[in-house]
Structure 1
């Protein structure tokens, strides 16, 4: 059993028993006498376990904390199939990042997904790797398990590490929580409109598509930003994306704006419908509107689909693909909040639902995280000068208009009724205080 063979069997999810049959068949086809080869499930299992253990030990031994000053700690619990049974188990991958480099520390099997269990597992992993003094920030999903004020995973880790740590919540998760639509509310797994489109797909002539901006209403709303959005999407398509649905989202947006993606105009068959994954809803929405002449829509559905398409193309796509860039987060959050509020001129219902969710996730506008904006290349030099000036001011002078919100548990809490005043009176430099450089 070699390292390469073991890795191939693991990657293809071949069980120890099935691996024996494959190895014997390959050995026999290569002219070996299988009676001279000791191959059975037990020995195969021991060799594969030994190879995995040696690889893990080698990775640990090569890892050095010498050049590590500031680390960002990442974790995200997932339900995955168990390696030894057909049951689903709670797995907790733990990763650190530093200066563009990532290191997987562990993928732990959890007995439960409570905040204390998560915190204990993460803390022990940091101790085992000797990283407790290097963690400066944490990246996590904004679930109550992680963000609870007293017993959340983040709060417990800060207590046990005995230091204040920056909170960098996952921006993709925030945007997923924010995305909402006006489709039928259902307790079932499918949206009725999407399911009908999925069943109609074999009958749809994919050559008979129309861009979104052929619709007069959509063209009027997007005409000033079409070229800018197309340029952004085409630049993003030059990059590699670890998920194919990300690329499909970009390509559908280009087609929606009457452009041609680098791979040409191609349409994938509609995939699975997930309430938990907004991306599937976005892909369905764009496809339905592009094939509006092939797929019958009621006037109500037509209006809903067109409104959501404008929201996706004009507001959402840029913030989604820029979400991993932490330096852009403060500016993007403030701009996104303003854009959602202004979207009510197109649709009154959709922005209301989005706003109610997004105002609960203003993590990057706190005095701690606002300092990231100094590294945002899209913020003018004049604005950064004002930001630097606010650092030197007496702290109490930096909170003009703070009656609109409160800062608690490392995020801004904004009353929904005060959103209008907040948007009108707050600029990016207003969030900078003397605490922004501590």
Structure 2
């Protein structure tokens, strides 16, 4: 601004009557643009049918990086107007429900996964799932996972899909994925790190299986409100395997460390009640 002031003085303009503060100029420019925008909206009242045109473009952002934008133009008889050029959200962006779900469960899942790291895992795949989940949640050093080419893929390898999805998510910037693929990948990874991982590692505890299954069903019902399609499909799969949750196996809850003594006393009282016909 010092150079501008000197240039104005050189041509005979009194700079004392001008505002040369950058913040003031920015505020004034912003107010003028808002006024122009409102004026255009209020005065644009076409009385002819319009056709909307959309065409995605890579345009430079304020920081110079090219981003996807979607110019929207309407046209009609003697009318052509540029409506907006909004940014196109990337496939991995979370919506409000997903953001809230992640915020509510992130800390608990991080603590759970870090506790699992202290336990001896039966296979290397278990350790990979833990570390990849932590990386996805943004709390682990990526160098902690040794990336290797995919091995044999078969139905017996239950964690394969989850591990590969998390790996693809970690390397998504280096892969040519469509917006649809990124969106699907994000949904799978969110389900994996907030629902699936805990259920998988808790499944080995037979004494707490009835309690954990009940918690999983409750979590699934809540997750359906976040992602209806993924939640319903997962619930459908879970319900197919509820046949083993018999009244005999529910008794194992009495020796579970996850159920407190007050709840166990209530369970004992319930056993003395006559059976409903």
Which range, TM-score by smaller chain? 0.5 to 0.7
User: Counterpart of 1:327 in 2: which secondary structure?
Assistant: coil
Q: How far apart are 1:260 and its partner, in Å?
A: 1.9
Distance (Å, rounded) in 2 between the aligned partners of 1:238 and 1:309 = 23
> Counterpart in 1 of 2:150?
271
Q: How far apart are 1:325 and its partner, in Å?
A: 0.8
- The question of whether the paired residues in 1 share the 8 Å contact of 2:162 and 2:192 is answered with yes
After superposition, where does 1:233-382 map in structure 2 within 5 Å? 233-260=113-140, 264-272=143-151, 274-276=153-155, 277-363=157-243, 365-382=245-262
Change beyond 3 A, Cα 1:219–1:352: closer
Point out the structure with max Rg over C-alpha: 2
Q: How far apart are 1:291 and its partner, in Å?
A: 2.0
Change beyond 3 A, Cα 1:364–1:375: farther
Distance (Å, rounded) in 2 between the aligned partners of 1:241 and 1:267 = 17
User: Counterpart of 1:278 in 2: which secondary structure?
Assistant: coil
- The question of whether the paired residues in 1 share the 8 Å contact of 2:132 and 2:166 is answered with yes
Q: Deviations over 1:233-259 (max 9, x none)?
A: 112112222211110110101111111
Q: How far apart are 1:338 and its partner, in Å?
A: 2.3
Distance (Å, rounded) in 1 between the aligned partners of 2:93 and 2:139 = 15
Distance (Å, rounded) in 1 between the aligned partners of 2:240 and 2:161 = 23
User: Counterpart of 1:230 in 2: which secondary structure?
Assistant: helix
C-alpha RMSD over aligned residues:
2.2
Q: Which runs of no fewer than 5 residues in structure 2 stay unpaired?
A: 1-91
User: Counterpart of 1:349 in 2: which secondary structure?
Assistant: helix
- The question of whether the paired residues in 1 share the 8 Å contact of 2:210 and 2:249 is answered with yes
Aligned length: 183
After superposition, where does 1:73-112 map in structure 2 within 5 Å? none
User: Counterpart of 2:253 in 1: which secondary structure?
Assistant: helix
Q: How far apart are 1:354 and its partner, in Å?
A: 2.2
Q: Which runs of no fewer than 5 residues in structure 1 stay unpaired?
A: 1-213, 398-438
Q: Deviations over 1:381-425 (max 9, x none)?
A: 33222211111111227xxxxxxxxxxxxxxxxxxxxxxxxxxxx
After superposition, where does 1:23-102 map in structure 2 within 5 Å? none
Q: How far apart are 1:339 and its partner, in Å?
A: 1.9
User: Counterpart of 2:165 in 1: which secondary structure?
Assistant: helix
State TM-score, norm by structure 2. Answer: 0.60
Q: Deviations over 1:206-227 (max 9, x none)?
A: xxxxxxxx95445432112212
State TM-score, norm by structure 1. Answer: 0.39
After superposition, where does 1:352-431 map in structure 2 within 5 Å? 352-363=232-243, 365-396=245-276
- The question of whether the paired residues in 2 share the 8 Å contact of 1:254 and 1:260 is answered with yes
Q: How far apart are 1:368 and its partner, in Å?
A: 0.6
Distance (Å, rounded) in 1 between the aligned partners of 2:236 and 2:243 = 15
Distance (Å, rounded) in 1 between the aligned partners of 2:259 and 2:241 = 22
> Counterpart in 2 of 1:69?
none
- The question of whether the paired residues in 1 share the 8 Å contact of 2:128 and 2:145 is answered with no
Q: How far apart are 1:264 and its partner, in Å?
A: 4.6
Distance (Å, rounded) in 1 between the aligned partners of 2:197 and 2:235 = 17
Change beyond 3 A, Cα 1:306–1:300: same
